[in-house]
Amino acid sequence: MTDKPTLVKCLVWDLDNTVWDGTLLEDPDVELFPGIRETIIELDSRGVLNSIASKNDYDLAWKHLEKLGLAEYFVHPQIGWGRKSDSVAEIAERLNFALTTIAFIDDLPTERAEVNYHSDAVRCYDATQAGELTGLPEFSPEIVTVDARRRREMYQASFRRDAEKETFNGPDEDFLRSLDLVMAIKRADEVDLSRVEELTLRTSQMNATGVHYSDADLRKLLADPDHEVLTVTLTDRFGPHGAVGVLLLERHPRLWHLKLLATSCRVVTFGAGAVLLNWLIDEAARAGGHLVADFRATDRNRMMEIAYRFAGFTTDACDCLTVLGEAAADGLQHLHLVADRRDASTTMSLTAPELAVAAETAVRPG
C-alpha cells in the first residue's frame, strides 16, 4: 500500500519554452506547445488552479495569453523580472495555500532549483513533463465536485469582491447589502453530499459539534424521515461562493435536535452562520418546538459558540432534554432554546424548504 500524494491545488507555469515554443520577446507570434491548452483546461475542470511565474514583459505576455484564449484560466499571474521563488510564494500567499500544495513547471533546471532552494515543499516539473501531468496522482482528485469544477470562477469572484470592498466607503452592512447575497438552503441529495464532505473536512473550526459525520453517515440519513440533511450555498452578484454549510437535524415531537452545523470560514464575514441559525429557529418556532444544538468546545470553534449564544441558546435545563439522554459524557453540551419567531435577514435573501410544515405532518398521528 502506498500513501496517496498530497493533491496539487495550484500549478504555476513558466511561459517561454514551457507553455509556448520559443521566447515571446524574440517572436511575438510564438505558438503553444501541442497539448498545453488541453492540459490547462483539464486541470481547471478538476479544480486545480493554474497560475504563472514568468520572466517577461507583463503587458506583452498577458496580451498574448488573451490572444491564445488562455488568459482567463490563470489566477494571480506573476509576470515580471523578479525571482520565481518569490512569485511562487506570492501566489501561495494570495491563495492562502500551503506550499506543499503548489507545483511549478519550467524548462530551466536553474529556475526549478531556485524555487526549490527557497522551498523544497514545492513540487517542480520539467517542461517536457507537461503532457503527463493529468495522468499523475497528485493532479487527480478522487472526486471532482460541482464546486471543484468552478473553483477558479469562485476565486476570481472573490478577488473582484475583495477589490470592491477595499474601495467601498460606508458601513459593512451597506457593503453586504450591495452584494445581493442569496442563500439557498435545500434538502441534500447524493451530489450535494460530495460537496459538503469537502466542506466539513476543511472547516473544522466552524464545526459546532466537533463531531465529524462521514459522507457515508450522512448518506444513510438522506432517506430517514426523522432526519433532515440540509446543504447551504451562497451566491452574490460577483458569482458563486459554492457550498458553504451543512446541517443535520433530527426531529422529535416538539423538539428539533441540531446534531451538526458546519459553515465555511470563507463566509463568516457575510454573517451566514447567524442567518442560518435565525432561519432554523424561526422554522422551529413555526413548528411550535424547542431547539437543542449539540456543542462540543474545541480550540477552533469558539466562533460557533458565540453564534449560538448570540442567537439565544443557553445551557439551562428543560424537560424536553430528557428525550436526548445524557450529553455530558464526552464534553458534549446540549445548548437549548425555546424557539421564537425571527425576522428575515436584512442583508441577504433566502430560499429554503418549509421544515415546519413537514414536521407537523410527521408528528400528526395516523
List contacts with Zn ion (CB under 5 A): 290, 318, 320
CB of 280 to Zn ion, least distance (A): 15
**DSSP one-letter code for 134:** G
CB of 226 to Zn ion, least distance (A): 18
131/312 with CB nearer Zn ion: 312
Supply the minimum distance, in Å, between the C-beta of residue 221 and Zn ion: 23
Give least dist CB 252 to Zn ion, A: 10
Minimum CB–partner distance for residue 318 and Zn ion (Å)? 3
Toward Zn ion, which CB reaches closer, 238 or 313? 313
Q: CA 181, CA 18: separation in Å to the nearest integer? A: 41
Grid cell of 214 as nine digits: 462521514
Classify burial at 323, counting beta carbons within 10 Å of its beta carbon; exposed 0-12, middle 13-18, buried 19 or more.
middle
Q: What is the DSSP letter of 30?
A: -
User: What gap in Å lies between CA 127 and CA 106, rounded to an integer?
Assistant: 5
Shortest reach from residue 212's CB to Zn ion, in Å:
27
Q: Which CB, 76 or 336, lies closer to Zn ion?
A: 336
Residue 285's SS3 state is: helix
Cα 138 from Cα 140, distance rounded (Å):
6
Pick between residue 318 and residue 358 the one whose CB is nearest to Zn ion. Answer: 318
Go through 30-60 and write b for each residue having 16 or more CB atoms within 10 A of its CB, e for each that does not: beebeebeebbeebbebbbbbbbbbbbeeee
CB of 291 to Zn ion, least distance (A): 8
Tell which residue, 194, 278, 204, 305, has the closest CA to residue 242.
194
List alpha helices for the chain, DSSP H: 36-45, 58-67, 84-95, 109-118, 146-149, 151-167, 172-178, 190-202, 215-221, 272-286, 302-311, 355-363
Closer residue to Zn ion, CB minimum distance, 262 or 320: 320
By C-beta, is 195 or 290 nearer to Zn ion? 290
Closest C-alpha among 81, 107, 195 to residue 149:
195
122/320 with CB nearer Zn ion = 320
CA distance linking residue 117 with residue 133, whole number of Å: 23
DSSP code of residue 168: -
The residue behind cell 455530558 is 328
Q: Compute the least distance from the CB of residue 331 to Zn ion, in Å.
A: 21
Cell of 121: 515543499
User: Closer to Zn ion at the Cβ: 127 or 320?
Assistant: 320
Q: Which is nearer to Zn ion, 9 or 334 (CB)?
A: 334
All residues at 6 or more sequence positions from 90 whose CB lies less than 8 Å from its CB, including other chains: 76, 78
Q: Least separation, in Å, of the C-beta of 282 and Zn ion?
A: 17
